[in-house]
Amino acid sequence: MNKTYLITAALLGALSVMLGAFGAHGLKGRMNAETFEIFETAIKYQFYHVFALLVVGIISQYIPGGFLTWSGRCFIAGIILFCGSLYLLTYYKMAGAEHMNWIGAITPVGGLFFISGWILLAVAVIRS
């Protein structure tokens, strides 16, 4: 069991719930539907990958090795880059700072980390 991944997953899960509640109750009426959809996408993907990180943390007790470790790292990097860029994009869109839309270009890099995390998880299980 990898306590670091489990603790990180728990904290990111709590953050997902807090951001979701903040979005639903504090932001929804303050932004247009397109911007709110960006915010919701960030929350969804963060929450999905919290569960992926929990799986990595739990099965690391049974499947040691670098592939699983890197899988967890990729999930964390994906959350930071994919979700983080979408949260920033939402903020800048709300603030009317359209010149900051370039931040959306970071999102696919985070998506690649998510994909890599899932592939590394599969490789770790296959090799076990």
pLDDT tens digits for range 94-112: 888 888 889 889 999 999 9
Cα(81)–Cα(112) distance, rounded to whole angstroms?
10
19-29: average pLDDT: 85
| Terminal Cα distance for the chain, rounded | 15
Which of 65-69, 89-93, 119-123 is most confident? 119-123
29 or 49, greater pLDDT: 49
Instruction: Give me the pLDDT at residue 97, please.
Output: 83
- 3 state SS of 45: helix
Asked if residue 124 has pLDDT above 90, the reply is yes
Residue type, 105: A
Please provide the DSSP assignment of 56-115 as one string.
HHHHTTTS-SHHHHHHHHHHHHHIIIIIHHHHHHHHHHHHT-GGGGGGGGGHHHHHHHHH
Query: pLDDT per residue over 74-85, tens digit each?
Result: 999 999 999 999
Q: Provide the residue count of the chain.
A: 128
Q: Please tell me whether the overall predicted TM-score, pTM, comes out greater than 0.75 for this model.
A: yes
